[in-house]
Amino acid sequence: MRDAVTTLIRNYDLTGRYLDRDAMANLKSYFESGTDRISVAALINANSPVIVKEAGLQLFEEVPELIRPGGNAYTTRRYSACLRDMDYYLRYASYALVAGDPTVLDERVLQGLRETYNSLGVPIAPTVRGIQIMKEKIKAMAADAGVEDTSFVDEPFDHMSREFSEISV
Ligand SMILES: CCC1=C(C)/C(=C/C2=NC(=C\c3[nH]c(/C=C4\NC(=O)[C@H](C)[C@H]4CC)c(C)c3CCC(=O)O)/C(CCC(=O)O)=C2C)NC1=O
């Protein structure tokens, strides 16, 4: 697992360079967003059950065939497996938000997931939609809580969505 600072230092060390203006700008933006990153992580921590539940309800409203007979989230067991997966995405997104770096998602969440999802017939497109619904909810909550620029919230959710879309064959 890495964070914004260790990733940057690693890249400069690999090529034996001092930290230049680009590096400074990068670090400055990471540290300036630090308080907001922590506020959003705290928001997620305090509201995770509600975020997951409401995002799930919205997803099943948008894609109702998921919870009809033959749908992948049909039956109580699979319904809760789906919400549990959404909870995983949310929790790891909160780690990546604080770290300012997505490696934790690659290492702990996305690795090997395609094989699992493909073998169980879990559809990718609605999974990505579920991730995006959570992102939208959190950005709205953060804006309500006074976070002015919520664009950094996109990073981990869009990273997972992108990786998912790339691996969906
Ligand atoms: C922390 C890293 C991590 C992840 C990400 C993870 C995902 C994960 N999701 C699974 C299943 C599942 N995932 C879903 C999810 C969904 N079905 C849908 O229709 C929706 C689109 C979607 C919810 C948004 C479902 C329904 C299952 C159960 C499938 C089955 O057993 O038939 C499984 C198979 C084993 C199990 O059921 O526990 C894994 C490993 N496990 C992990 O340890």
56 lines ligand 1 (CB under 6 A): no
Domains of the chain, start order: 1-32 (no CATH), 34-165 (1.10.490.20)
Interhelix angle 76-99/154-167, nearest 10 degrees: 130
The token duo for 11 is: 């890249």
Output the CA 85–ligand 1 centroid distance in Å. Answer: 5
Q: Tell me the average pLDDT across 83-95.
A: 98
Amino acid identity, residue 131? I
Strands, E, within 52-149: which ranges? Answer: none
Confidence check: pLDDT of 168 > 50: no
86 lines ligand 1 (CB under 6 A): yes
End-to-end Cα, the chain, rounded Å: 27
Exposure b/e, 3-22, CB count within 10 A at least 16 = b: bbeeebeeeeeeeeeeeeee
pTM of the shown model = 0.95
Residue ranges for the known binding site are: 72, 77, 82
Reported as a single tens digit per residue, the pLDDT across 101-159 is: 999 999 999 998 988 999 999 999 999 999 999 999 999 999 999 999 999 999 999 99
Q: Residue 138: which of 103, 86, 99 has the closest Cα? A: 86
